[in-house]
Amino acid sequence: MKPERAEEMLKEYKGCVGRCGYLKKAIAEAEEDIGAWERSLASDLVNSGGVNMDGMPHGTAVGKPTERMALTLAAGYIPEDLKEAKERLKEMIQELREKEMIVVFVEAWLSGLTEREKWLIEQVYFEQQTYAYIISALRSKHGINTSKDGVRRMKKTALDKIYEMAG
């Protein structure tokens, strides 16, 4: 993986964590809605004597509406709205997979850093803190007196480790 992509993933991480949470809930709801929709179609077929799918009034056509509906469903008919819902579900599942991969990679990289390096990466990429804040926090929380150049060197060291892990 190129270093540029690894750094992009660090920048995207926090948003991906939130988006994954949303997508998991949305996927569960969509699956439930689609399942209910499909059960409703089957129930309509059994209970209502057929569904008028072509929008035309029932006339003197030969055959029973339920038989026509069964043959239509057996031939693979799916209402357009249901097709769209299934396609959207498929897109959400794909997006979730992509976002989860970013989360997994970044968390693996962070586990390979020292506590101080991990903290620094979190401050720079996840919290988007300024160098002034980081310098002050390093001094007060970690007892490290450093400059902006010192923070840059620490960041470079941490990123080099990440790039090495990203391979």
Residue 99 is predicted with a pLDDT of: 98
* Domain residue ranges in the chain: 1-110, 112-167
Instruction: Please choose, from the candidates 113, 125, 159, the residue with its C-alpha nearest in 3D space to the C-alpha of residue 15.
Output: 125
The model's pLDDT over 36-80, given as tens digits with 9 standing for 90+, comes to 888 887 676 656 554 555 555 555 554 566 666 666 666 667 778
Q: Which residues contact 87 (CB under 8 A, 6 or more apart)?
A: none
- To the nearest whole percent, how much of the chain has pLDDT over 90? 67
Radius of gyration of the chain measured on its C-alpha atoms: 27
Question: What pTM does this model have?
Answer: 0.75
DSSP category for residue 123: I
Residue 38 is predicted with a pLDDT of: 82
Q: Where are the beta strands (DSSP E) in 4-85?
A: none
Over the chain, what is the mean pLDDT?
A: 87
Tokens of 123: 């401050």
125 C-beta neighbours (distance < 10 Å), count? 19
Instruction: Collapse the DSSP code of 59 into the 3-class scheme (helix H, G, I; strand E, B; otherwise coil) and give the result.
Output: coil
Whole-angstrom distance, CA of residue 116 vs CA of residue 137: 11
Tokens of 33: 């809605």
